[in-house]
Amino acid sequence: MKIAIMGAMREEIDPILAALGEYTSEEHAGNVFYSAQYAGHELVIAYSKIGKVFSAITASVMIERFGAQALLFSGVAGGIGKELKIGDLIMASALCQHDVDITAFGHPYGFIPEGSVMIETDSDLRSLAAEIAVDMGVELYEGIIATGDQFVASSERKAWIEKTFNADALEMEGASVACVCHNFSIPFFVLRAISDTADGEAGIDFDAFLQSSAQVSAKFILEMVKRIGD
């Protein structure tokens, strides 16, 4: 099976490339895509750069040019659910765009005509992840992840997003990747390790815990690759 593994930043895919050891690379559309064999699957791996536009481009290339049949996103996020702590893992049950606002036309926040506020992730991949979490002895949360082209470091904004979308975590790429995969009918899964708590200390926490949180997410994603198709 051809599986895409995607992150937003170099730090989010470095642990995956290090674990693979051998891979080739190809430049296309302003980015670098890494190819490797792992656990009987063909992998294409890339970091998109931060934000919805770059992540949508990268996901589209992985599907259209490299023929990805499933996409796994590995990365970090800010936690807004009260139970989430730095280092915890959360998989998205669904994703939304918290910075979309055409409420002036009578639509709810996050809604784009001919679309929906929420896009659900693949239920089979979520079930697989739940099994892996039990086997690995790690706690895996499940909830709504909100995406926007903003690094949220405001308690007020955090509270608004949590209330408006019933969101548990915040990041800057997941919902745009979800839009691409949904439109191409590609099963996808988004896993985030909590690197900060999206409040006044978010910038400090993010820098301190980025690499360690990314490693936690990457290890879990590679275990998923091993078991896809079992």
pLDDT at 86: 82
Model confidence at 186: pLDDT above 90:
yes
Known catalytic residue at 12: yes
Mean pLDDT, rounded, of the chain: 91
pLDDT number for residue 81: 73
Which range marks the domain in which residue 34 is found?
A: 2-227
Confidence of residue 207 (pLDDT cuts 50, 70, 90): low
Exactly one of 12, 168, 171, 205 is catalytic; name it. Answer: 12
Q: For position 194, what pLDDT does the model report?
A: 86
Do the Cβ atoms of 115 and 179 come closer than 8 Å?
Answer: yes
For the segment 159-188, the average pLDDT, to the nearest whole number, is 97
199: confidence class by pLDDT, cuts 50, 70, 90: low
Tell the residue number behind the tokens 């890339």, with chain if given. Answer: 46
- In the chain, the number of structural domains is 1
Cα gap 214→230, rounded to integer Å: 26
User: For position 54, which CATH number holds?
Assistant: 3.40.50.1580
Structure tokens at 172: 């800057």
The answer to which of 3-12, 136-145, 183-192, 206-215 has the lowest mean pLDDT is 206-215
Return phi, psi of residue 36, to 5°. Answer: -155, 165
- β-strand pairing of 41-47 with 2-7: parallel
Tens digits of per-residue pLDDT, 38-89? 999 999 999 999 999 999 999 999 999 999 999 999 988 888 877 888 888 9
Is 196 designated active site? yes
Name the token pair of 195.
């690197």
d(CA 219, CA 5) in angstroms, rounded, equals 12
Show the CA angle centred on residue 48, arms to residues 210 and 52, nearest 5°: 95
* Pick from 163, 136, 96: nearest CA to 217: 136
Q: Of 67, 38, 26, 73, nearest to 52 (Cα)?
A: 73
**Pick the catalytic residue: 11, 168, 173, 196?**
196
> What average pLDDT does the segment 21-43 reach?
96
CA 84 to chain centre: 16
Write down the pLDDT at residue 151.
Answer: 87
pTM of the full structure? 0.92
Q: Is the pLDDT of residue 201 over 60?
A: no
